[in-house]
Amino acid sequence: MSERRLTYGESALLTPANLLTLVRLVVTPIFMWLIVSQGATWTTTVVGFCAAMSDYFDGIVARRHGTTRSGAFLDPLADKVVVLGSLYTLVYEHYHWWLPVAIITAREGWMTWYRSVMSKRGISIPAGPLPKIKTMVQDLAIAVCVIPWTTSLHWLAVILLWSAVALTLITGWQYYRGGRKATT
C-alpha cells in the first residue's frame, strides 16, 4: 500500500510549514521578553528551544508537502527575526557585545537585498550545508546565554558568537559568488 501525501502548489499560502514559521514569529517576542524579564531560566530556555526547533521542523514539513514561494520568503524572514531579535535582546542585557551582532545584521541585510536583486533576474541561489551550520552556531551563541547551566560561561558565548560571525561572512561570500556564477 503506498502512502499518499498532501502536497501544495508553489503559490500556496496556508501550508503546515508556513504555519510553523508563523508560530516561530509569534514565539520570538515572547522569548525576547523572557530574556529581559527572567534572564537565564528553564522557561526561557524551553521557549527559545521551541523557536529554534520550529525552523528545523518547518523545513521537514515543507520538503514533505512541497515548497512554496511564500515559504521561501517567510522562512528566511523568520530566521532573521528569531536570530537578530534574540541577539539584540542579549546585547541589551549585556550578554553579548554589539559589534559582532552588527556585523551579522549587516550581512543579513545585504543578503536580503542581494537575494531580491537576483530573484528579479530569475536567479535562485541554492543554500549549501554551511548556512545550516551557521544558523546552528548562531542558535548556540544565543542558547549558551539563556541556559542556566551555561550562562556563566561567557568565554564560550564569545567564541560561539565570533564563530557565527565568521560563518556568516563566509556564507555571505558563497552566496555572492554563487550569484555571480549564475549571471555569467
Domain range for 61: 16-183
Q: Does a structural domain hold residue 43? A: yes
Is 103 inside a domain boundary? yes
Mean pLDDT, to the nearest integer, of 85-97?
97
Residue 173 lies in a domain: yes
Q: What is the pLDDT of residue 2?
A: 47
The pLDDT of residue 18 is 82
CATH number for the domain spanning 23: value is: 1.20.120.1760
Note the pLDDT tens digit of each residue in 69-84. Answer: 666 778 888 889 999 9
**pTM of the complete model:** 0.86
Look at residue 29 and tell me if it is in a domain. yes
**Domain annotation covers residue 169:** yes
- Report the number of distinct structural domains present in the chain: 1
| Cα–Cα–Cα angle for 83, 48, 88, rounded to 5 degrees | 35
pLDDT tens-digit readout, 118-164: 888 888 777 778 988 999 999 999 999 999 999 999 999 999 999 99
5 domain-assigned: no
Of 47-51, 55-59, 70-74, 101-105, where does the model show the most confidence?
101-105
The CA-atom distances, in angstroms, between 66 and each of 16, 60, 78, 132 are 10, 10, 19, 20
What is the band of 10 on the pLDDT scale with cuts at 50, 70, 90?
A: low
